Amino acid sequence: MNEKTLDFIEPETSVKVLKVAGQKSSRKRILDMGLTPGTRVDVIRRAPLGDPVEFKLKGYNLSLRKREAGTIMVEILE
Amino acid sequence: MTEKITVAITGNPNVGKTSIFNAITDSKQHVGNWPGVTVERKIGKRVHNDIEMEIVDLPGTYSLTAYSLDEIIARDFIIEEKPDIVVQVIDATNLERNLYLTTQLMELGVKMIIALNMTDLALAKGDSIDAENMQEFLEIPVVSTIGSKGNGIEGLLDAVAGEIDKTQFTESVFTYEEEIENNADELGSILGTDPYFAHYPLRWFSMKLLEGDENIIKKARESDSYTRINEILSKIDADSLEAKIADQRYKTIQAMLRQVCDINTEHLSGSDMVDRVVTNRVLGIPIFLSLMWAAFEITFTFATPFMNIIDIFFGWLAETATNVINIPWLASLVGEGMIAGVGSVLIFLPNILLLFFMLSLMEDSGYMSRAAFIMDKLMSKIGLHGKSFIPLIMGFGCNVPAIMATRTIEDTRDRLITILITPFMSCGARLPVYVLLAGAFFGRDAGVVIFSLYAFGILVAIVSAKLMRSTILRGEDAPFIMELPSYKIPTLKGSTIHMWERGKIYLKKAGTIILIGVVGVWLLASIPAPGSGGIFASEEIYGSTNSVIGVIGVMLEPLVAPLGFDWRIAVALLFGVVAKEIVVGSMGVLYGVGENEASLSAVLAAGAMTPLAGLGLMVFTLLYAPCFACIGVIKRETGSWKWTMFQLLYGTGLAWGSAFVVYQVGSRMGLLA
């Protein structure tokens, strides 16, 4: 299976969001920011010190710490 | 007769709300804080078509589920204070996410208008948006604007004037799947019969309950119908419903976007190209550090000549006043007290204006969030957010603007810790104290000593942050979910307005506290101690053991004796709370060498103090209570005397402890003897 959490995805990879877990408040925020199931997310790059990570979705750029990215289940798009 | 209405401007962060606000109000605005909190409240006025509009610029928000203080304020304003009309500013280059807030605002059933902003940038990107079509789809007015150039503002105001008289509310065009709609209807009918909810838009309240919004559930719990509400809520799986609701909102948006616009997805934006360099693995940090250094240099180098001019001017004014006024005590009060006091406030103004100009350039261009992105890993190690880094660096110049710069940090706990540790960053005013003492006692090693003091300040700040995070300000780390907005060219007007707003805040608030402090210290130094027989404010009394402050110094002497300090140092340190530079001047007066620093240095080196006590004094000066201007700003920015006192006591306690260790341990071990 190609299912992983978002923090394990290498830069320059595109994924599709499957599910957002995590605690109530950050989960809701993540959904509000557009990371709803089915959304395509491009992993752009990691910060120079390795964390946080920059993503592109819905035409804008978002950055999440690995901790938050780890609550998002995704599927790698070929 | 003119009509009076309230217009709230809302929208996501970085969409140009403030430029629209500035363009509408054309600098007829005032800035204050929301009652009880330190989030900025900007209100302006504008008369258009005989309608007097009070315009309120709300803090940026991504959704009506409130997370940060900013968002709670924006939401509560719309729901509780019920503005007559809400203008949502939308970034035309980022429609999909921006419209998410629109779906929620529409559920509120408020009168609203969309300002489709930055349409020039969208066009340049190759997008085409049919505003008329969008207006038809949403059934609310959509006006194209370019806030930075002031385009479309008249049209926007016309739309506000036209919409305000409409009596019919727009029904939400956003419908959800059957399960959600059924539950929402059921909840709505319960809420509708309970007068407790009369204040709220029912559909919105029902949707929020279904989403499991904690604030809203708390409100519902206080009502009589909560058992019936809870019956419905317990039947559903809130977590999955919440995801479904968000998902369906975005689906509706996508359906609309397919109809009304053509978005060029192939376009590689300039922002992406800049980011490839600016946040690059190798170059990112060097570029960041160079930019920080440049901002710092420009701020403090350019400010110096202006500071000198202000210094000379107030020196001249004080001298003139002293010469003109014949009553000696009044001359001293006006000259040494008030004019010198006002001068010590104004001297920081060039610093503050320039620093805020630089910060505003970084913020408006979009670089600030990249800086947070780059530094976050490092800052998270001490329990803070990437955004805490810039204020801390700025603290090396002057703690006052640095503390004001913490406003960019959204999380209240992160912000509070940053405010509390900023005074440990050695500001420019402490340097003269180091130069004098290190020069007197350490000769060739003075440079190393001074460098170590700066490093020690950073260490204390880091350890304090970790300590506060794990004790008094414990809590989960705020989730780091930050937008990296597209780069934009900042406008001179925007940055100037921002700079001047900060300057005014500083002058008003910090100014009053400094003035009171300075006059207070002058009084204590001028009033002869009872029984001393001296004359009020005479030269023999001012600051001597025969003045009240001298008596206080003598009283404090036992407290500072374990640090190797005598009453003179106690008095100099008391004066130093007014402004750190004064420590040197006061020591000059107290050791009887006047303003001559060379002879003061000679007196100290000749044995007025031991080198260890001198080192301790430098450490003490670094850590103890910051200057009046800084205390005033800590009070203003934390909004609490409790936290202000905490900083003063914590810092002074640390200062005492460190100086004690330096002096006692050092002399036991026979160091520097």
Which of A25, A48, A63 is closest, CB to CB, to B482? A63
What confidence tier does B514 reach under pLDDT thresholds 50, 70, 90? low
pLDDT value, residue A76:
93
From chain A, the residues in CB contact with B479 under 8 A are 25-26, 29, 65, 67-68
pLDDT by residue (tens digit) across B221-245? Answer: 988 888 888 888 888 877 778 888 8
pLDDT by residue (tens digit) across B160-213? Answer: 999 888 766 655 667 788 888 888 889 989 998 988 888 888 888 898 888 888
Kindly identify which residue of chain A lies nearest to residue B63, measuring between CA atoms: A32
From chain B, the residues in CB contact with A6 under 8 A are none
Query: Are A59 and B94 in contact (CB < 8 Å)?
Result: yes
Q: Where are the beta strands (DSSP E) in B418-542?
A: 481-484
* Distance, C-alpha B89 to centroid of its chain: 23
Mean pLDDT of A4-9: 93
B56 vs B211, B491, B496, CA distance in Å? 29, 21, 20
Whether the Cβ atoms of residue B152 and residue B115 lie closer than 8 Å to each other: yes
pLDDT value, residue B89:
96
What confidence tier does A5 reach under pLDDT thresholds 50, 70, 90? very high
CA dist., res. B277 & res. B273, Å (int): 7
Mean pLDDT of B108-124: 89
Mean pLDDT of B369-395: 89
- Given a cut of 90, is residue B155 above it in pLDDT? yes
pLDDT by residue (tens digit) across B569-606? Answer: 998 898 888 888 778 877 877 777 766 777 888 888 88
pLDDT value, residue B260:
85
- Given a cut of 90, is residue B648 above it in pLDDT? yes
CA dist., res. B390 & res. B402, Å (int): 8
How distant is the Cα of A35 from the closest Cα of chain B, in angstroms? 9
Query: Are B62 and A52 in contact (CB < 8 Å)?
Result: no
Whether the Cβ atoms of residue B383 and residue B417 lie closer than 8 Å to each other: yes
Mean pLDDT of B11-40: 82
- Given a cut of 70, is residue B254 above it in pLDDT? yes
From chain B, the residues in CB contact with A26 under 8 A are 479, 481
Kindly identify which residue of chain A lies nearest to residue B122, measuring between CA atoms: A59
Whether the Cβ atoms of residue B407 and residue B637 lie closer than 8 Å to each other: yes
Residue labelled with tokens 């006024």: B325
From chain A, the residues in CB contact with B369 under 8 A are 63
Mean pLDDT of chain B: 86
pLDDT value, residue A1:
61
CA dist., res. B351 & res. B427, Å (int): 12
What's the pTM? Answer: 0.84
pLDDT value, residue B673:
58
B445 vs B428, B431, B564, B606, CA distance in Å? 20, 15, 21, 18
B32 φ/ψ angles, rounded to the nearest 5 degrees: -145, -165
B10 vs B17, B48, B121, B163, B236, CA distance in Å? 7, 20, 20, 17, 32
What confidence tier does B268 reach under pLDDT thresholds 50, 70, 90? low
From chain B, the residues in CB contact with A19 under 8 A are 243
Kindly identify which residue of chain A lies nearest to residue B287, measuring between CA atoms: A48
Percent of chain B with pLDDT over 70: 95
Mean pLDDT of B447-465: 92
Which of B247, B275, B481 is closest, CB to CB, to A33? B481
From chain B, the residues in CB contact with A34 under 8 A are 96-97, 100, 250
Kindly identify which residue of chain A lies nearest to residue B257, measuring between CA atoms: A58
In sequence order, the 6+-apart residues with CB closer than 8 A to the CB of B175 are B181
Total CB pairs under 8 A between chain A and B: 130
Q: Give the single-character DSSP code of B172.
A: P
CA dist., res. B646 & res. B101, Å (int): 40
- Tokens standing for residue B587: 């020591």
pLDDT by residue (tens digit) across B516-557? Answer: 777 787 888 888 888 777 788 777 787 788 889 889 999 999
Length of chain A: 78
- Given a cut of 60, is residue B48 above it in pLDDT? yes
Percent of chain B with pLDDT over 90: 29
Q: What is the ipTM score, two decimals? A: 0.95
pLDDT value, residue A55:
95
Query: Are A32 and B95 in contact (CB < 8 Å)?
Result: no
